[in-house]
A = this chain, B = another copy of it.
């Protein structure tokens, strides 16, 4: 998916850009409306992320223009907490969703996937691993039509493997992912989670690389 980010705050913009890129999408980032118009005119985007307060005008005009021209590209509005009327106006002008600053990157990620999926019209992007059918956005796993439920930690682990198939992930890398930052684990908690994951998914899925870490099995 290709997204255009229109945001003049450099700190926020960089964070958002990185997050979208981390999800495997490509991002262009501009800080002004005129630049945005140029980009939209010359490239096909699947999603626009639009800040409303920009140095050369308000973003709503751009949105209205696009919709008036029949452009139906999904638009997510980024807006500050106190600009209620802007949000309302934005939705009325044809925005698909909006995020109130400051927002969690996970929140952004969720909306992103929702919008992308809606736009694609597809049921969902599915990943197949062995006999498992995985819907990363909906956080669901199917085997032979039966759903498999994972807890938060189990899912975080599993997701890490699925997003980097074939790659060996060290314990440290996994723990970094499970525990938001700094939190140290001095027990074998990760091992335990791997064990529980295997119990639910079967033993061919996660493979031990002795002395190094874990990776997806070759059943994939």
Seen from chain A, the residues whose Cβ lies within 8 Å of a Cβ on chain B are 81, 84-85, 87, 92, 97, 100, 104, 107, 110-111, 114, 124, 135, 137-140, 147, 151-152, 164, 166-168, 170, 172-173, 176, 180-182, 209-212, 215, 218
Contact = CB atoms under 8 A, between A and B. Distances in A.
Contact of A139 (B104, B135, B212): B212
Nearest to A107: B172
A206 B164 CA distance: 31
B167 A137 contact: yes
Q: Which of A147, A151, A167, A209 has the most CB of B within 10 A?
A: A167
A107 B64 CA distance: 11
A152 to B, nearest CB: 4
A103 to B, nearest CB: 9
A218 B92 contact: no
A38 to B, nearest CB: 26
Contacts of A139: 168, 209, 212
Given A139-B209, A212-B139, A107 B170 contact: yes
A167 B182 contact: no
A181 B98 CA distance: 13
A167 B114 contact: yes
Contacts of A110: 168, 170, 173
Q: Which of A124, A164, A166, A218 has the most CB of B within 10 A?
A: A166
Nearest to A103: B172
A114 B164 contact: yes
A162 B197 CA distance: 31
Contacts of A84: 181-182
Contacts of A152: 210-212
A175 B164 CA distance: 32
17 contacts: A84-B182, A87-B180, A100-B176, A107-B173, A110-B170, A114-B167, A124-B166, A135-B166, A137-B167, A138-B166, A138-B168, A139-B209, A147-B218, A151-B210, A151-B211, A152-B210, A152-B212
